[in-house]
Homo-oligomer: A and B are copies of this chain.
Amino acid sequence: MAGSTLGDLFTITTWGESHGAAIGVVIDGCPAGLSLDETDIQIFLDRRKPGQSRFTTARKEADQARILSGVFEGKTTGTPISIMIENTDHHSADYSAIKDVYRPGHADYTFDAKYGFRDYRGGGRSSGRETIGRVAAGSVAAKILKELGISVHAYTRSIGKIVIPESEYHYSEIEENKLYMPNNEYAQKASAYLDECIHSQDSSGGTIECIVTGMPAGIGEPVFHKLDAALAGAIMSVGAVKGVEIGDGFLASLSKGSKNNDPFYMNGTTIEKASNHSGGILGGMSDGSKIVIRAAIKPTPSISQGQETVKKSDTSSLENTTISIKGRHDPVIVPRAVVVIEAMTAVTILDLIMHNMTSRMDSLIKFYQC
């Protein structure tokens, strides 16, 4: 499978570069009969929009989603949904400074190594704008999941060393601060830290947490398409992610079985777990508890302080140089990536939710007898 398609049944194919004519996604396999209009998508896109706070880029893209196919009289038809977002702000800036220079921490060198050259304008295909198609697709997946009683929510867990302990999560505060943190006080501390970063021409990393509630048990395909494997692959495919954890994640490596195992017990007639170290996944399938995923986001690689690197000289030979990346850059990627992680989670879960429908003979018999 070529690299821009994800999923087996709910399939998304993204396309577009930062400074091309447009950017978009084709969703194939969306069930027929879902109410859908451009507003559903726009709400998600607006969450990753730049220019929302002093920590995100000033580029004022409208980022208006347009549905070009697959919806008729307000309902999905079962055929591919093509969503396009025009790149309205792609005035040809002066790229001479980065055209021949490999920016540290960016994909400039690896793109050249693979393809022999690259669209250097704004990072081309490796730009953060590539996530627009993912988020548009995620908005559709999330809407379907919602109809099935499943909710997906992501938020900023930490920025640099400012980490919110789980005991201090106040989910209602997520939308109250520009960093999407579930604690306004920590958000203020993080803001102060980011101001420092800006001042020192530097940037910060952070972590995003995503939770899924309402998941039925048994979702995920044993062995290679486990729920956690699919989530890890989908989330690690987001540009700046360098680590993924489920439940206790790396802490589980320090733990003991007696503590890490979650006891089952009966809550009335329902089986539940007394703890959730597993993060809602056992043996690669959902166990009925809340699913908990964490992603580590690296610091924004574009910083304005000088960095040593390599450039192609006119004669195509390589030579050492120094680069200072001009222009306004987010000192942190995390807040804008929150909705991207949520989107990837929604898309992944929906695909496995659909896959699961064929797991049992009695389901097939019931389906075709109706």
Contact = CB atoms under 8 A, between A and B. Distances in A.
A136 to B, nearest CB: 13
A342 interface: no
Contacts of A262: 104-105
A238 B239 CA distance: 24
A116 B252 contact: no
A13 B33 contact: no
Interface stretch (A57-65, A174-182, A298-306): A298-306
This chain's copy number in the assembly: 4
A196 to B, nearest CB: 10
A79 B4 contact: yes
A119 B84 CA distance: 20
B233 A114 contact: no
Given A117-B75, A256-B299, A263 B222 contact: no
Interface stretch (A45-53, A164-172, A183-191, A275-283): A275-283
B246 A242 contact: yes
Contacts of A117: 32-33, 72, 75, 77
A286 to B, nearest CB: 7
Contacts of A274: 308
A111 B287 CA distance: 9
A236 B44 CA distance: 28
Contact of A222 (B72, B125, B207, B317): B125
A147 to B, nearest CB: 6
Contact of A110 (B147, B217, B243, B363): B217
Interface string A258-275: 111111111001010010
Contact of A223 (B125, B158, B216, B309): B125
Contacts of A76: 361
Contacts of A256: 160, 197, 202-205, 299
Interface string A19-31: 0111110101101
A248 interface: yes
Contacts of A241: 228
B109 A9 contact: no
A173 interface: no
A360 B239 CA distance: 23
A344 to B, nearest CB: 9
A345 B114 CA distance: 20
B34 A361 contact: yes
Interface in A133-156: 144, 147-149
A279 B149 contact: no
A251 to B, nearest CB: 8
A218 interface: yes
Nearest to A70: B15
A305 to B, nearest CB: 6
A223 B252 contact: no
A88 interface: no
Given A205-B252, A223-B237, A242-B245, 4 more contacts: A197-B256, A252-B299, A257-B303, A274-B308
27 contacts: A2-B7, A2-B225, A3-B226, A4-B223, A5-B13, A6-B224, A9-B355, A15-B26, A15-B80, A16-B69, A17-B70, A32-B361, A72-B124, A77-B124, A104-B261, A105-B282, A130-B223, A147-B361, A228-B241, A233-B234, A236-B246, A237-B284, A242-B245, A252-B299, A264-B309, A266-B310, A357-B363
